[in-house]
């Protein structure tokens, strides 16, 4: 959320004695100032993250001097799904109401005159699953400190790295020191790896039945059912749109995994050893990993071919089962490619990826994926799915491998459309 939003949600209402009401922006010329101390506690036994926030509101607005006015409320954002909301000061409860989706007004019990301060507290809960917790820490204020306490048996990854960790006997505490910038929220992914349960079903495909096994953590039955349904539907659509029957001779196992098990990626296809899928991954990533059963059959020598085609066919399949998500994903990928182009551009023929993704390599890797998708999507729009299917069959038949020169030759042979842009992507 940008700084303009931050100024809006911190705005208070100043009431003048002659009954004039004015909305003021926050932290402008030391007019008003907020100290915020927030704590997040992961309590898996209760299925919640408990959030406690202490807010001290300081009125330094000179327009309220000499008893000409005061502040009477505070506007703030609470995340979607916030439950059991309580707001109170040191003496009693405070009234509050939601004025827009996620935005609340907290009404002070006292008038906050010039150079006065008012301290109050906000508590709420975020629902989580027994073994997995995914939520965002959104903080707004001028001087903010944040702590996150997680049981020791949970593996936790944060989207920010400007924190320190204190290990206790049964928990770990992640500490963001007072005064750090909170224009950027922090996403929390926390998982307790426990014994996995199994869901089984069968996909009835063109040439044979393929048994599907979903391995998931206790409490994630809904996730497993959703993954099973999407997998069976996607396999049939991948066969249809690829123009090739499911290539491997083995069945499919999909395992709900954490970031360590996926190497930092959303998913990881290990062939006959199955797919390891991050427990927060969406359907696009699942279909991408399923598509790799076909990309590997195409004898591709280049990484961009594997990943570009996997993302292209994820788009094609999603267009049939979740068209709005397909369009959103496509637009997001192409926009990301354009945004990263100036700083990270390189020829796709030179692209490689590390085994483990981290903050130092993330943008470079992401650009490669987005450039590969931009190429394959542009090709799809130019020559159409039937020409792609003809090329796919030639890829499969070429057991010696498909390098960049082979690829260009095959693409030119299946369509009379102008595909000059392919070489630009590969070598420039």
The label of the residue with tokens 């009379």 reads: 416
Structure tokens belonging to residue 357? 């993704």
pLDDT at 30: 55
**Alpha-carbon dihedral 198, 199, 205, 208, rounded to 10 degrees:** 50
Pairing of strands 275-278, 252-257: parallel
- Alpha-carbon distance of 367 to 363, in angstroms, equals 6
Superfamily name with CATH number, domain 196-427? Neutral Protease Domain 2 (1.10.390.10)
Are 13 and 73 in contact, with CB atoms under 8 Å apart?
A: yes
- The reply to whether CATH 2.60.40 applies to domain 3-191 is yes
How many Å from the N-terminal Cα to the C-terminal Cα in the chain?
Answer: 35
Long-range Cβ contacts of 361-368 (<8 Å, 24+ apart): 366/336, 366/340, 367/336, 367/337, 367/340, 367/341, 368/303, 368/304, 368/307
Residue 278 CA, chain-centre distance (Å), reads 11
What residue ranges do the domains of the chain occupy?
3-191, 196-427
C-alpha span between 401 and 403 (Å, rounded): 6
Q: How far apart are CA 401 and CA 421, in angstroms?
A: 23
DSSP assignment of 25-53: -SSSTTSEEEEEEEEEEEEGGGTEEEEEE
Could you give the CA distance from residue 238 to residue 290 in angstroms, rounded to a whole number? 8
Please determine whether the domains at 3-191 and 196-427 fall in the same fold group of CATH.
Answer: no
Among the listed residues 311, 308, 291, 296, the one whose alpha carbon sits nearest the alpha carbon of residue 426: 308
DSSP 250: S
What is the dihedral angle through the alpha carbons of 268, 273, 275, 280, rounded to the nearest 10 degrees? -80
- Residue 119 pLDDT: 98
Maximum distance among all alpha carbons in the chain? 87
Q: Which residues are 256's β-sheet partners?
A: 277
User: Is this model's pTM higher than 0.75 or not?
Assistant: yes
Three-class SS state of 67 = helix
Would you state the torsion angle of the CA atoms of residues 126, 130, 135, 139, taken in this order, to the nearest 10 degrees? 50
Strands 96-100 and 155-158, by their bridges, are unpaired
Q: Name the nearest CA neighbour of 255 among 234, 227, 235, 292.
A: 227
pLDDT given for residue 283 in this prediction? 97
pLDDT (0 to 100) of residue 354: 83
User: Do 415 and 383 contact (CB within 8 A), yes or no?
Assistant: yes
| pLDDT lower than 70: segments of the chain | 1-30
How far apart CA 66 and CA 134 sit, in angstroms, is: 49
Q: From CA 371, how far away is CA 167, in angstroms rounded?
A: 42
Contact yes or no for 15/72 (Cβ under 8 A) = yes
Please compute, for residue 307, the number of CA atoms within 13 A of its CA located in the half-sphere on the CB side: 21
d(CA 333, CA 239): 24
Q: Which helix (H) or strand (E) holds 146?
A: strand 143-151
Q: What is the pLDDT of residues 1-51, one digit of tens each?
A: 333 333 333 444 444 332 223 333 333 335 889 999 999 999 999 999 999
Q: How many CB atoms lie within 10 A of CB 170?
A: 9
The span from the CA of 332 to the CA of 326, in Å, is 10
């Amino acid at each position: 959320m940008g700084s303009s939003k931050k100024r809006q949600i911190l705005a208070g209402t100043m009431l003048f004695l002659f009954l004039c009401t004015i909305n003021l922006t926050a932290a402008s010329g030391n007019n008003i100032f907020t100290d915020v101390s927030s704590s997040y506690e992961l309590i898996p036994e209760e299925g919640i993250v408990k959030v406690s926030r202490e807010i001290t509101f300081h009125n330094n607005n000179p327009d309220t001097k000499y008893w000409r006015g005061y502040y009477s409320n505070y506007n703030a954002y609470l995340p979607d799904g916030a439950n059991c909301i309580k707001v109170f000061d040191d003496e009693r409860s405070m009234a509050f109401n939601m004025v827009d989706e996620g935005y609340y007004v907290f009404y002070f019990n006292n008038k906050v005159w010039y150079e006065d301060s008012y301290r109050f507290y906000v508590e709420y809960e975020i629902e989580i699953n027994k073994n997995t917790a995914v939520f965002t820490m959104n903080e707004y204020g001028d001087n903010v400190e944040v702590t996150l306490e997680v049981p020791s048996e949970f593996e936790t990854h944060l989207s920010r790295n400007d924190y320190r960790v204190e290990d206790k006997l049964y928990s770990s505490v992640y500490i963001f020191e007072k005064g750090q910038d909170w224009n950027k929220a922090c996403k929390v992914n926390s998982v307790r790896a426990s014994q996995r349960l199994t869901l089984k079903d069968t996909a009835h495909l063109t040439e044979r039945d393929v048994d599907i096994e979903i391995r998931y953590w206790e409490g994630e039955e809904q996730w497993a059912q959703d993954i099973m349904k999407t997998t069976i539907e996607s396999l049939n659509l991948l066969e249809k749109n690829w123009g090739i029957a499911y290539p491997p001779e083995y069945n499919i196992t999909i395992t709900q995994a954490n970031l360590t098990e996926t190497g930092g990626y959303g998913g990881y296809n290990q062939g006959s050893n199955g797919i390891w899928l991050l427990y927060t991954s969406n359907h696009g990533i699942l279909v991408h990993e399923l598509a790799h059963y076909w990309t590997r059959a195409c004898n591709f020598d280049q990484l961009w071919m594997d990943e570009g085609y996997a993302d292209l066919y994820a788009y094609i399949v999603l267009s049939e089962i979740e068209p709005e998500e397909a369009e959103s994903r496509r637009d997001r990928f192409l926009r990301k490619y354009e945004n990263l182009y100036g700083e990270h551009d390189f020829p796709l023929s030179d692209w490689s990826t590390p085994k483990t993704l981290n903050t130092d390599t993330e943008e470079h890797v992401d650009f490669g994926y987005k450039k590969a998708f931009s190429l394959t999507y542009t090709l799809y729009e130019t020559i159409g799915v039937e020409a792609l299917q003809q090329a796919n069959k030639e890829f499969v038949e070429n057991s010696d491998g498909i390098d960049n020169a082979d690829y260009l030759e095959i693409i030119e042979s299946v369509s009379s459309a102008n595909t000059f842009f392919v070489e630009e992507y590969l070598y420039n």
